[in-house]
Amino acid sequence: MGKTTFQPLGGNEMPRFGGPSTMMRLPTQENTRDLDACFVGIPFDIGTSNRPGARYAPRRIRDESSLLRPYNMATNAAPFDSLNVADIGDVAINTFNLEKSMAIIESAYDEILQYSCTPLTLGGDHTVSLPILRAIKKKHGPITLIHVDAHADVNDHMFGEKIAHGTPIRRAIEESLIDPLRSVQIGLRGTGYSPEDFEWARGKGVRVIQAEACWYKSLAPLMDELRKTIGAGPVYLSYDIDSLDPAFAPGTGTPEIGGLTVIQGLEIIRGCKGLNIVGGDLVEVSPPYDISGNTALTAANLLYEMLCILPGV
């Protein structure tokens, strides 16, 4: 106590359909100097191979986040009581140039990370995780990656291009941005280009937990085990919304049937409590395919849950 922290604008101060269109209707900040954590958007989808639209996700997620209240009734987390959190807006990517956008995003995260602020990113397609991890490495060294996704995202190239939304995890391992021996992929499934699609990361030492190994069960025991093996080092959580079954999250570029439930998604994120989380992202929401808004609503909630498991909450 004694520290004054920013608070989301409450539903009894301003109707939830009004007020600022920031994440959870938090105040905005120009930089992260006074912040412990920030929400930041990357309206980027030029790395998408098929159904585009993730460029609209930050705005749509913020819109749905107006429904969120500050206290987590399941975990008792009270993130805004202990952390100073604001919405720092969007990264001004160059939507005509993917390579330039990579550099723009990396330098934006260099700026965010110059203070002790943990970024929680509203993607964007999954390409955005690569420049974020490049910036994170400069501050924290190679980190443990918890990657939740229907896809391995370890393609060597897509249509000949090394940087696309299906390649970031391969680049991250090649560039030693992450420590594969402590990293994990959860929720992988569907059809592949070859039977070995999920083996590349395994060959590098990544623990790959396919969706079928998650069916019919709570993932809380898995997370208990992962916390023990990961230990105290820095961890980045990259959450692709398509890890969830399309019944729950249809508004995404590359849906795959037989996916995780929303409850399992919550178990994964809540199970990260106690880890030294240094950043997280929620990627691949595609509002044009999200007719009900449920995908963006789920994304908003999962981002809030990430805030709730940060060190210091």
Binding status of residue 170 toward Mn ion by CB under 5 A: no
8 Å CB contact between 215 and 224: no
In the numeric block, which tokens belong to residue 191?
Answer: 């059809």
Comparing CB distances to Mn ion, the nearer of 79 and 255 is 255
Three-class secondary structure of residue 128 per DSSP: helix
Handedness of CA 131, 184, 116, 124 (dihedral sign): positive
Asked if 153 is part of the footprint of Mn ion (rule: CB under 5 A), the reply reads yes
Residue 242 binds Mn ion, judged by CB under 5 A: yes
151 part of the interface to Mn ion, by CB under 5 A: yes
**What is the largest distance, in Å, between two alpha-carbon atoms of the chain?**
58
H or E, element range at 80: helix 79-82
For Mn ion, which residue of 135, 143, 150, 222 counts as binding (CB under 5 A)? 150
Which contiguous run of DSSP H or E holds residue 234?
strand 234-240
Ranges within 69-98 binding Mn ion (CB under 5 A): none
Phi-psi region of 19 (alpha: psi -120 to 50; beta: other; left: phi over 0): left
In angstroms, rounded to a whole number, what is the distance separating the alpha carbons of residues 109 and 166? Answer: 21
Q: Is residue 149 near Mn ion by the rule CB under 5 A?
A: yes
CB of 26 to Mn ion, least distance (A): 27
Is 240 near Mn ion (CB under 5 A)?
A: yes
By the rule CB under 5 A, 256 interacts with Mn ion: no
Asked if residues 284 and 54 have their Cβ atoms less than 8 Å apart, the reply is yes
Instruction: Determine, following the binding rule CB under 5 A, whether residue 245 of this chain makes contact with Mn ion.
Output: no
Give the nearest distance from C-beta 192 to Mn ion in angstroms. 13
117-136: contacts with Mn ion (CB under 5 A) = 126
CB of 227 to Mn ion, least distance (A): 23
Report the nearest approach of Mn ion to the CB of residue 284 (Å). Answer: 6
Q: Which residues bind Mn ion (CB under 5 A)?
A: 126, 149-151, 153, 240, 242
